[in-house]
């Protein structure tokens, strides 16, 4: 068990030292998944907002990284970025529809 934990820790340190942007993207995706699971259990909208925000941030980071320095698995990374973007936008639109924030925004715009 200890060797597994040591291997896991060394993998994290290696990834963080030699590819920090990818490490941050992986961290954001893991947080998005954990928050989505938490939202599924508790049904509090705050978890869905955070999860969607992390997913959109990770998606944009993946696309920017692939545009600057393409990796050997560019197609997979861009597909993952697209899936994360769709999930993030869907989550935010779901909240807007559920809490009718779109009608609130329309009322605010008409009053300006």
Locate the domains of the chain by residue range: 19-111
pTM for the model: 0.78
| C-alpha distances out from residue 33 to 1, 38, 52, 65, 75, Å | 26, 9, 9, 21, 22
**Residues of the chain above pLDDT 90, percent:** 41
Cα–Cα dist 21/9, whole Å: 18
Least trusted range by pLDDT, from 1-5, 21-25, 84-88, 105-109: 105-109
Model confidence band, residue 22 (pLDDT cutoffs 50, 70, 90): confident
Note the pLDDT tens digit of each residue in 31-65.
999 999 999 999 888 899 999 999 999 999 999 99
């Amino acid at each position: 068990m200890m060797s597994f934990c040591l291997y896991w820790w060394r993998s994290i340190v290696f990834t963080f030292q030699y590819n920090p942007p990818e490490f941050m993207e992986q961290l954001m995706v893991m947080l998005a998944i954990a928050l989505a699971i938490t939202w599924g259990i508790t049904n509090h909208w705050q978890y869905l907002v955070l999860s969607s925000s992390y997913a959109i941030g990770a998606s944009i980071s993946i696309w920017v990284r692939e545009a600057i320095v393409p990796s050997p698995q560019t197609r997979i990374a861009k597909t993952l970025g697209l899936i994360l973007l769709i999930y993030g936008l869907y989550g935010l639109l779901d909240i807007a529809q559920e809490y009718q924030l779109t009608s609130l925004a329309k009322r605010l715009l008409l009053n300006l």
